[in-house]
Amino acid sequence: MTRRALCCALALVACSAAGQGYPTRPVTLVNPFAAGGPVDAVARIMSAPMSQALGQPVLVDYTVGAAGTIGVGRVARAAPDGYTLSIGHWATHVINAAIYPLQYDVLRDLEPVGMICANPLLIVARDSFPAKNLSELIAWLKANPDKASVGTAGVGSGSHMGGVYFQSATGTKVQYIPYKGTGPAMQDLLAGRIDFMVDQASNSLPQVRAGKIKAFAVSAKSRLSAAPEIPTVDEAGLPGLYVSVWFGIWAPKGTPRDVVAKLNAAMVSALADPAVRQRLSDLGQEITPRDQQTPEALAAFHKAEAEKWWPLVKAAGIKPE
């Protein structure tokens, strides 16, 4: 055996030895946004059943700021041992890379674990806002350029991209108010301190159901089964404004393959749990089909999404604040 072959064989043995005992201590799932928002909801729903499957606590931790780039960067630089994981979505793991000068590469510095679910955006307004439907909202914004305040989780977040897409489709101008996540932005919408949001269904639906905010449209081809009363953008007058915010889990690049396999198995078993499925569905989240829950499927989808969105976002010239 050559020296190089021996080194490779020893590295493989070390990797599988690392995976065999794994995990021996708590696993940290880094939410890059503030508590109470969409990523937090998915992380919290997944953490208990994943803890059970792994035999160690899966703890949700917060490293927030700059539309999620600080938290994702923390995981990209973490030890590749399976104890520090990134949970995030379309915006944190695709869009941000076309806007921010990142110190990490979202495709090369992270190891996909699996895709969890996806939810569309809802166009929602404070309860006291004068508009009763989407056409009235657009008419109001046209008559009052730059007057409406729109809550976002920062430039490049899902809510900000939804707002940018909405503005360009309607030819309106609004003022963005950035928060550390749409959890705190929702608190200000409820209090009437901001006017509207283009927010993930999972964050807005509980408030819509409670009658505390108004929902004008869902950014999807079909209505949500969790909220069939909300019209689609096609029905409400903004045809084709479709956005799907999909969620995944990643580990730092170089995490041993059998550790990734254990994490993926824990994610898959959590998603098979009827209680987990119910909680996600109630929030308007569509669970990733079983055959798409693999690390390979997330890797392929992540790459395809980057190829699709990066040229569009770069062409739009969106700049970090």
Name which position in 113, 131, 141, 153 contacts ligand MLT (CB under 6 A). Answer: 153
Write the DSSP string, 129-188. Answer: -S-SSHHHHHHHHHHSTTT-EEEESSTTSHHHHHHHHHHHHHT---EEEE-SSHHHHHHH
Q: How far is the CB of 91 from ligand MLT (least distance, A)?
A: 5
Are the C-beta atoms of 255 and 80 separated by less than 8 Å? yes
Residue number, 82 or 151, with CB nearest to ligand MLT? 151
DSSP reduced 3-state for 198: strand
φ and ψ at 63, to 5 degrees?
-130, 95
Q: Please, which residue, 33 or 83, has the CB nearer to ligand MLT?
A: 33
Q: Which is nearer to ligand MLT, 208 or 259 (CB)?
A: 208
Which of residues 51 and 159 has its CB atom nearest to ligand MLT in the complex?
Answer: 159
Q: Draw the binding track, 89-118, toward ligand MLT (x: CB under 6 A; -: no contact).
A: --x---------------------------
Planar angle of CA 272, 246, 92, nearest 5 degrees: 125
Q: Is 66 helix (H, G, I), strand (E, B) or coil?
A: helix
Nearer to ligand MLT, 181 or 295 (CB): 181
269 token code pair: 């078993």
Least distance (Å) between residue 88 CB and ligand MLT: 8
CB 29 within 8 A of CB 57: no
Residue span 259-278 as binding mask against ligand MLT, x where in contact by CB under 6 A, dash where not: --------------------
d(CA 200, CA 203) in angstroms, rounded, equals 6
Q: How far apart are CB 288 and ligand MLT at their closest, in Å?
A: 17
- 107 within 8 A of 240, measured Cβ to Cβ: no
Number of C-beta neighbours around residue 222 at 10 A: 10
Instruction: Give the single-character DSSP code of 1.
Output: -
Q: Does 121 bind ligand MLT (CB under 6 A)?
A: no
String marking each residue 24-63 x if it binds ligand MLT according to CB under 6 A: ---------x---xxxx-----------------------
* Identity of the residue, 54 or 220, whose beta carbon is nearer to ligand MLT in the bound complex: 220
Q: Which residues of 20-50 are buried (b: 16+ CB within 10 A; e: fewer)?
A: eebbeeebbbbbbbbbbbbbbbbbebbbebb
What would the x/- binding string for ligand MLT be over residues 155 to 194, using CB under 6 A?
--xxx---------------------xxx-----------
Least Cβ distance, residue 180 to ligand MLT (angstroms): 8
Minimum distance from CB of 225 to ligand MLT (Å)?
21
Cβ atoms within 10 Å of 231's Cβ, excluding its own: 16
Binding site for ligand MLT (CB under 6 A): 33, 37-40, 91, 153, 157-159, 181-183, 200
